[in-house]
């Protein structure tokens, strides 16, 4: 059974940085893509970034391009989200997610495996 444990959230001032981590276990991930989503209070869960485990291809939501970087460490079965130049509107619970295949990668409904979430709060 695939398990994801995400961590690294916290409170940071606007303009600051955080690095989220996702530890994956229980599967062979070469055919997976790993995603980060976020959900702010009263809003739907939204796509942030995703990376293909096999070749490292990445995709980003437009509002985080140039500020966030998703990466993976195959040896550790870990995925990271480096978040720089954080803004108050980045405040949300961030979730790591995993699935096989890349079709419709922005849809949270396509991901069967989820971490428990980690809170990111950016103060102005």
Cα separation of the two ends of the chain: 40
pLDDT of residue 92: 98
Q: Which two tokens stand for residue 106?
A: 């922005």
Q: Count H helices, E strands: the chain?
A: 0, 11
- Tell me which residues of the chain have a pLDDT lower than 50: none
Per residue in 62-88, pLDDT (tens digit) is 999 999 999 999 899 999 999 999 999
Please give the pLDDT value at position 55: 92
pLDDT of residue 3: 96
Query: What is the pLDDT at residue 48?
Result: 98
């Amino acid at each position: 059974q695939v398990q994801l444990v995400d961590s690294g959230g916290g409170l940071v001032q606007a303009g600051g940085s955080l690095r989220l981590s996702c530890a994956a276990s229980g599967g062979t991930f070469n055919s997976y893509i790993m995603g980060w989503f976020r959900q702010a209070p009263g809003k739907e869960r939204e796509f942030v970034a995703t990376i293909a485990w096999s070749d490292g291809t990445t995709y980003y939501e437009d509002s985080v391009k140039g500020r966030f970087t998703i990466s993976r460490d195959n040896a550790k079965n870990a995925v990271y989200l480096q978040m720089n130049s954080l803004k108050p509107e980045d405040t949300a619970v961030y979730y790591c997610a995993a699935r096989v295949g890349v079709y419709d990668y922005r849809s949270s409904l396509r991901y069967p495996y989820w971490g428990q979430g980690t809170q990111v709060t950016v103060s102005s």
